[in-house]
Structure 1
Amino acid sequence: MNTKKIVITGGPGTGKSTLINELIKRGHICLEEISRQVTLDAKKDGVDQLFLKNPLLFSELLLKGRQKQFVDADLYGTKPVFFDRGLPDVLAYMDFIGDECPENFIKTCNNSKYHTVFILKPWEAIYTSDNERYENFDQALEIHEHLVKTYEKYNYTLIDVPFDTVENRTNFILKALNM
């Protein structure tokens, strides 16, 4: 398949999900972030923060879910598909907490390539915490650096999305893609 797979990444609270929702509103195919669902599922099982309690299990669940999204995107044929985070995000977060990445994580990232990656920088004016987001703004800055380093390690050229309104940020992405 020649599905154009496009990642929107960035640290916590940078506006990724808001952009994905705007893209959906405009009729684009988007696969939403799954980490909140993994966190909520763990809470149902009595684990308040799975990422903090068992980061490897959390990361394995994310990798598996994102890999499924990557494969399922081909079902859309030649239509572009937007992802709220990509496979390398899992490795970046593991690096952030100082965990070693298992070889199968690295292999998955090497074998599953996206066409385009947009990155959103931490933006203090819109940053908020909630029940699933435990990071503070300084940690969001650090995570951003890990994301940049990880995506570059896998030979992606990152496109920085400027601070602006949701509409203008979405227009920037679509213009960069000639859509």
Structure 2
Amino acid sequence: MNTKKIVITGGPGTGKSTLINELIKRGHTCLEEISRQVILDAKKEGIDQLFLTNPLMFSELLLKGRQKQFVDAELFKNEIVFFDRGLPDVLAYMDFIGDECPENFIETCNKSKYHTVFILKPWEAIYTSDNERYETFDQALEIHDHLVKTYENYEYNLIDVPFDTVENRTNFILNKLKM
């Protein structure tokens, strides 16, 4: 089966995980964001902020995990699988902090293409920080710009998800996919 891989992306605190949880609740197959697990695993090793301390290692771990998700999506044998962030997010965040992307990162994004990408704009009304999300709202705005630029560099036509209730945002995505 040729599974349609659908990305829901956006800067920190835009409601991606909430939408993924709603899609799961409605019976859709979703692969959750892995960065929090990478951060928590690093904390167990005594590294408080791996992304800040060793951004390349953090990015390599994310790329590897997201590539595994991309490949594993075919195992579900579903017509559609949703992803909380995609491979190009790794490159966008590296660009945000001013790091160069290794060639294998670029190659991975070139050969692993998603069917559709939905993007959520920063929404100050719902933005919160926590132990794993250390960015300010202004940084979330900047990250959004890097995400747009990166996905467009890989020739994706981004679909903006409007600000609305979780139910309406989810309906918007499903309607765009004609589900």
Aligned residue in 2 for 1:102: 102
CA deviation after TM superposition for structure 1 residue 78, in Å = 4.2
Paired positions, count: 179
Q: For residue 33 of structure 2, give the secondary structure of its aligned residue in structure 1.
A: coil
Please tell me whether residue 38 in structure 1 is matched to residue 38 in structure 2.
yes
**What stretches of structure 1 of length at least 5 have no aligned partner?**
none
RMSD: 0.5
TM-score w.r.t. structure 1 length? Answer: 0.99
Structure 2 counterpart SS, 1:149: helix
Matches within 5 A, 1:1-179: 1-179=1-179
Q: CA deviation at 1:77?
A: 2.2
SS in structure 2 of the partner of residue 106 of structure 1: helix
- One-letter amino acid matched to 1:80: I
Query: Helix, strand or coil for the counterpart of 2:9?
Result: strand
Gaps of 5+ in 2: none
CA distance in 2 between partners of 1:164 and 1:78 (Å): 28
Identity fraction in percent: 88
Q: Deviations over 1:51-71 (max 9, x none)?
A: 000000000000000000000
Residue 76 of structure 1 deviates from its aligned partner by 1.8
- 2:22 and 2:42 map into 1 onto residues whose CA distance is 28
Distance 1:37 1:101 in 2: 22
> How high is the TM-score relative to the length of structure 2?
0.99
Tell me by how many angstroms 1:72 deviates. 0.1
